[in-house]
Every structure is written in structure tokens, then in C-alpha cells.
Amino acid sequence: MLIIILTSVNAISASGELVFFSAYGNRTAGISYAKNVIVVTGVNKITDSLEQAVKRAREYVTPLNCKRLNWESACFKDGVCRQEECFSPEYKRMCCQVLILEAEVTSDRLKVILVGEELDFRS
């Protein structure tokens, strides 16, 4: 049986690192372990550096996802990341699992499709 994970990325650096955040780890586990992964992403998710990619995922994508899912997180109300506050048990933390793919050891396991337009869940 052929199993394919079809996903998107929270951010991608100009040098090619892919950044994924996950609350429960099912997304990051699937991406890490699946035999076939297809990542579709828009050009709006490209950043200048890995540092900027992590920042985009944490400070832009995560607050939007918290609002979309109505999760009471530290960033829920105003969209500002307060990473140090999110460890409190009163919050439901969205960015628990962080996966950064720098390279792939198995040829043809991971395919990235870069779409020449802006893509996100609000599109």
C-alpha cells in the first residue's frame, strides 16, 4: 500500500530548510517518518533565513492558527507570541512540536512543490 502525506509548511528558508510546528506531533511525526511526503507551499512562506522561518512560524502562523481553532493560548487575543507564557497550564499551546528539515537522506521521499502565488489557510 502506498501512503502519501500531503502537507504544507509553516515557513521555508531561502537556503531550503522547511519549518513545521505542531501541537500534538501527529503532523511532524508523519512528515518525519512517511515513505512519501509531498509539501505544497506558496512563495509567501519563503524567508531570508532559518531564523526568520522559525520567527514566521512562531509569530505569524501560530497566532493565526490559534484564532482559527479558538485555542486559548497566550497569543490568542492579540496575535503576539509570548513563548515564555505558553508553558503555563492555563494555556493550550499550539507550538509544542517543532520540526526543521535541513536535508533528506532517502532520495525521492520528500517532494516540495513551490507554487508561484501566496497560499495559506486564509486564501
Q: Which of 10-19, 65-74, 96-105 has the highest mean pLDDT?
A: 10-19
Evaluate if residue 123 carries a pLDDT over 60.
no
Question: What residues pair up with 21 in beta bridges, in sequence order?
Answer: 98
What is the distance between the alpha carbons of residues 39 and 9, in angstroms, rounded to a whole number?
7
List the domain boundaries for the chain: 5-115
pTM greater than the 0.85 cutoff: yes
Q: Which of 2-11, 39-48, 89-98, 114-123 has the highest mean pLDDT?
A: 39-48
Evaluate if residue 93 carries a pLDDT over 80.
no
